[in-house]
Structure 1
Amino acid sequence: MAEGLIDKTGAAVTVTLDVGDPISAYVVRLADESPAGRAEFINSPAEERIFFHTEVDEEFGGRGLAGLLVREALADSIRKNRTVVPVCPLFARHLRTHGDEFSADGGAFRRPTPSDIALVQRATGSAA
């Protein structure tokens, strides 16, 4: 999906989309194709993307991979005309800071509702 990305160390990385049911994820991969982190989401019945969990393996911390994941996931959501619902604190923080830019680029987002949280809980089997 997104190639030619460079992390803060100067290393090449890619971001790919792993489609699942019900949970899909954008995965940041190192040059050797090994995964280093992921941003998980579910599609709502309204075809919105509810981003609920983002993590980067501890050994790759400080390389800017979480930011690359968020930016690439948001850019792809624009391309696919999907409204973003940021349950994940990382996505919520990014959109609080850069939401105007995201919207100006054609993106749409909204605040999560209790029904969004319930949908994530059902999909993940979690009470969180």
Structure 2
Amino acid sequence: MSESAAEATVALSSSHDRYEITTDDELAGFTEFVDRDGRRIFYHTEIGEEFGGRGLGRQLIDRALSDTRAAELRIVPVCPFVKKHLQRHHEFDDLVDAVTQDAIAAVRERTR
């Protein structure tokens, strides 16, 4: 992990239902979710272009998924970034549920 990633901070923003990662007090990215029926549905992740290549996305998603485990919720990876992360890092395999029409409907409801 690079020095920049080590200095990053990941925090839950309850007002936005998302995790945010900051570095040098600047928002570097976020991952958004909706909690529904014991599942945390991750539907959108962004890392600013100027922050790419520092491992910030991995740090952000690892924290979000670890908190999801601690909250005893299942993971539904609608977001392609989260899905790709889960395919590379198998420590959360036991928590992953398939994307269903109900999950898609929950995201649509949330993003209206």
Name the TM-score, length of structure 2 as normaliser. 0.89
Following superposition, the deviation at residue 42 of structure 1 comes to 0.7
1:69 pairs with 42, 45, 60, which one? 60
2:49 pairs with 18, 33, 58, which one? 58
- Counterpart CA distance in 1 for 2:99 and 2:106 is 11
The one-letter amino acid paired with 1:92 is K
CA-based RMSD of the aligned residues comes to 1.5
Match status 1:18 vs 2:18? no
Secondary structure class of the residue paired with 1:67: helix
Following superposition, the deviation at residue 96 of structure 1 comes to 2.2
RCO higher in structure (CA 8 A, sep ≥6)? 2
- Counterpart CA distance in 2 for 1:78 and 1:17 is 14
Task: Give the ranges of 4+ consecutive aligned residues of structure 1 lying more than 4 Å apart after TM superposition.
Answer: none
Match status 1:40 vs 2:32? yes
Following superposition, the deviation at residue 29 of structure 1 comes to 0.8
Match status 1:116 vs 2:103? yes
Secondary structure class of the residue paired with 1:111: coil
- Structure 2: 5+ residue stretches without partners: none
- Structure 1: 5+ residue stretches without partners: 1-6
Following superposition, the deviation at residue 62 of structure 1 comes to 1.2
- Higher percent of residues as helix: 2
- Counterpart CA distance in 1 for 2:63 and 2:12 is 10
Give the number of equivalent residue pairs.
110
Q: Percent identity?
A: 37
Match status 1:90 vs 2:81? yes
